[in-house]
Structure 1
Amino acid sequence: MMLAHGPGPLVVALVMIAGILIAGFVVPTSQHLASLMAVVPATTAALAGPRLTTVIAALSCVAAFALDAHDDLLHTSIPAVHLAEIGLISAFVIASRSIRDRSVRELTEVRIVSDTIQRVLLRPLPPHLGHLRIRATYHASHPHAQIGGDLYAVSKCAAGVRLLIGDVRGKGLPAVEDAEALLGAFRAGARRIRSLQELMAELEFSVRSHFEEAGLSDADAVERFITALIMEVPDEGDTVHVVNCGHPPPYLALGPDTLLLAPTAPSPPLGLGSLSPGDYPVDRFPFSRRATLLLYTDGAIEARNSDGQFYDLGAHVATWPRSQPEDLLRHVLDGLSRHVGGGPMELEDDIALIAVQYGDDLPAPAAAPVAEALSEGRASFSRPDARAVPRRGTGPG
């Protein structure tokens, strides 16, 4: 009892009892203060648990009886009324506190389970993998949820590092189940399958199989899909390889430029795509050690302010002063909070963000400048502002 709540609630209750007793003995006997003792267990219930409140209720009854005796009321029915009053109020507040404590315990257990599921489903990304520094953050749209339909994962393969980011159509438990199906398939195949195109075809097969099985009990499963983007950052080289299946393209921040890595020919979302690897084109983009990549889900670009305007993610990334990847994530989230006119709780959609940089341990690369890569036709991207004309080109898959 004392260990659970500390001495504070007991001290407060004893001081209140002492104060009422002193006042009762000081005022004229015509002023009956015993009924004030009902306030003591009610106050204690707000500060401590049922056991301490029960003890304080008993002490309050004794103190009330002492006051009634001092006021020469024992020959009347008033002491019984006072004791009944204290007893009824104490029983009510003790029952209310017991229900509240049980609800808190159940909620705590649910949050523990939720946290466990989140760590299993969305495993924390390693801060360093290969030559990369990786930072990620996730915000669920529901204020009490820890997970939703947005997903990300990373895996080390023979060629380098592979990153996945995706967004499930829909919300709730079905979205979580769909996310788990894709993440499981990615973790099983990212190390084993050499080609990005073959990996994406394998993910399509796994997701389609999952939807077919879910459709046996949920007729809406056939209408679900997952937008996804897989990026491979080779250990050797100065480019990244991207397969985009209907997902918002990433941004590349390099010096004063912020570039949108738009796909030359985006593939359909998973669940609606092809089982043939050849139907998944691979785009190649320059990525030097001075650059930072930002992968995100559509919640980061579909957030609206009070005027209905979308958040201009590209313009906000362009104002980033270029430092650590975690600083970029904080910069984006702060801008989102200001845009929607409140805190993160005001956001209506799940948001996942991943920032990627080369680490300091990277061997001196022969990184091709962006302008050189564009002139040679080895890159396909555009500036995020509406005035820029996208420049197209593609590399073989």
Structure 2
Amino acid sequence: MERMGYWRLFADRLLEHPLGRGLVAIPLVLIAVITVIDINTPEDVHLGPLLVVAPALAASFGGPRLTALIGALAVAAQVVIGVFHGGLTTTNHIAQIIALAVLSALVVVVCLVRERRGRELNRLRSVAETAQQVLLRPPPQRVGPLRVAWLYLTAEDETQIGGDLFAVTRTAHGGSRVIIGDVRGKGLDAIGEASVVLGAFREGAHRCTALSELVAALEDSVSRSVDEVANTEHDPGEHFVTALVLDIPDHDSRAEMISCGHPPPLLVRGREVRVLHSLSTAPPLGVCVPPVSSFRTDVFTFEAGDALLLYTDGVIEARSPTGAFYPLAERVASFAASSPAALVRHIHRDLLSHTGRHLADDAVLLAIERTPAQQHFHEARRSADSFRSHRPLAGQPPPPSARRP
């Protein structure tokens, strides 16, 4: 009785969905049509073996329980055909019934394996997403005078956690520091190396005064910690991180950057898009330990209304079905000027269209726009006024919503 109740509940839930009702009707109609035709044809014509099509179709859209139910109905239909065509004692009908039952059981087994693999894949995807969220701690939409938008696209094999990284943090000297990078490889080793870089960046961004000191601290952390977080026995010397580090002051249009083997950013000014090539690119982090003086800073103008587009090589190396690389700078120039979030959405749709929705590598986009100083001042003042309006004056009791019950 419990099994009957379970089957009835399962069937009711399936039939509640219009698409489910339509798909389930296909194998049921096939069973009915094949049975009726076989019964009304001469005994030397056998259409019963075609009943195996019903559980095979059910397996294409349903789970193992639905497939087993359709398979049982197909076997029952084969029994009915045997009763009308000479009885169930004939060798031919017994062989057909047994063969149909065995094939239906095999189809159910395939469904069980597929369902189990699907659950495992979902768990792995959930773990990967959670790990990346905890590690990256994506920045808010507003960081000082900067508006920020980002996008993280995983490759086709979503069970492999990628090593792309980015972060935006405020500094004590009135500015923001940004990093975007790409760890070679995938999996837990890449996550470990990315965690080393991000941890060193968040600590050094507040402690280091000069940008070259910050990059030197990143290099030192990666060189010291790579053997602890990654397996370097099988591929020594192959663990490194490309990175681009920027220093954007609040009240100065002169921004600085240091590139460690990372693709150059794009500066968007109106409808003009310019590639900010580094004049002195340093090697990727983890390749060598150069002195601080070897990290030379590139200076560029980043004015109010300008936008910076940072990205990993998964964007520019994304290929179309014909093998063409994605022309990022050209496509960005064709988009209308808009907010960082809108720019990221435009690139997202265009990139998926270019690749046919299949990426060979993880890809990260980070768009940063500098807002006018006056607009930033007014927004900060409104935020401060809002805080003061909700804060009780000295000697006054707190509002009822803030009192303990």
TM-score, normalised to structure 1, is 0.75
Give the letter for the 1:239 counterpart: R
Tell me the alpha carbon deviations over residues 265-296 of structure 1, each in whole angstroms, 9 at most, x when there is no partner.
44443224557545434443322212111222
Q: Is 2:122 the partner of 1:119?
A: no
Q: Aligned-pair distance for 1:254?
A: 1.7
Is the Cα contact below 8 Å between 1:34 and 1:65 reproduced in 2?
Answer: no
Give the superposition deviation at 1:56. 3.4
**Secondary structure, in 3 states, of the residue corresponding to 1:220?**
coil
Change (3 A) 1:257 1:280: same
Structure 1, residues 315-344: CA drift from partner, whole Å, max 9, x if none? Answer: 544444322223434555667678xx6435
Correspondence for 1:321 among 324, 336, 345: 336
> Is the 1:30–1:71 Cα contact (8 Å) retained in structure 2?
no
What pairs with 1:159-238 in structure 2 (closer than 5 Å)? 159-170=174-185, 173-213=188-228, 217-218=232-233, 220-238=235-253
Tell me the amino acid that sits aligned with residue 259 of structure 2.
N
Say yes or no: does 1:128 pair with 2:142: yes
Correspondence for 2:369: 357
Distance change >3 Å, CA 24–CA 113, structure 1 → 2:
same
- Deviation track 1:72-121 (CA, whole Å, cap 9, x = no partner) reads 43453333223212212212211222222212222222222222222233
SS in 1 for 2:131: helix
Contact kept? 1:202, 1:275, Cα under 8 Å: no
- How far is 1:207 from its partner? 0.6
> Residue 73 of structure 1 is aligned with which of 70, 76, 87?
87
Conservation of the 8 A alpha-carbon contact between 1:211 and 1:222: no
Secondary structure of the residue aligned to 2:376 is coil
Residues 248 and 40 (structure 1), Cα distance of their counterparts in 2 relative to 1, 3 Å cut: closer
Residue by residue over 1:345-396, the C-alpha shift from the partner in whole angstroms, topping out at 9 and shown as x without a partner, is 3x655433221112474249xxxxxxxxxxxxxxxxxxxxxxxxxxxxxxxx
Residue of structure 1 in register with 2:66 after alignment: 52
How far did 1:165 drift? 1.0
> 1:280 and 2:295 equivalent?
yes
Give the residue type in structure 2 aligned to 1:178. E
Choose which of 250, 255, 276 in structure 2 pairs with 1:240. 255
* Aligned mates of 1:149, 1:267 — CA distance in 2: 20
Q: Which blocks of at least 5 consecutive residues in structure 1 are unaligned?
A: 365-397
In structure 1, distance between residues paired with 2:126 and 2:164: 20
Give the letter for the 1:343 counterpart. G
CA offsets 1:31-54 (integer angstroms, 9 cap, x no match):
555444444333333343333333
2:78 & 2:317 partners in 1: Cα distance? 63
Residues 257 and 4 of structure 1: CA distance in aligned 2, closer, same or farther (over 3 Å):
same
Q: Is the 8 A contact 1:252 1:260 kept in 2?
A: yes
The amino acid of 1:87's aligned partner reads: A
Give the RMSD, CA atoms, in angstroms: 3.6
Tell me, in whole angstroms, the C-alpha distance in 2 between the residues paired with 1:212 and 1:289: 43
Give TM-score scaled by structure 2 length.
0.74
Equivalent pairs counted in the alignment come to 361
Displacement after TM superposition at 1:185 (Å): 1.9
- State the shift of 1:256 in Å: 4.9
Q: Deviation per CA, 1:141-183, whole angstroms, max 9, x where unpaired?
A: 5554664343211122222222101233455554443223212
Secondary structure at 1:125 match in 2:
coil
What letter matches 2:11 in structure 1? M
- Matched AA of 2:148: I
1:241 deviates by 2.7
Residues 246 and 269 in structure 1, CA contact (< 8 A), matched pair in contact too? yes
Query: Secondary structure at the residue paired with 1:253?
Result: strand
8 Å Cα contact 2:165/2:182 also seen in 1: yes
Quote the residue 1:395 is aligned against: none
CA distance in 1, matches of 2:274, 2:263: 13
* Structure 2 gaps, min length 5: 1-9, 379-405
Residues 1:250 and 2:265 aligned together: yes
Structure 1 residue 21, shift from structure 2 partner: 3.8
C-alpha distance in structure 2 between counterparts of 1:214 and 1:350, whole Å: 21
More helix by share: 2
1:343 lines up with 2:356 in the alignment = yes
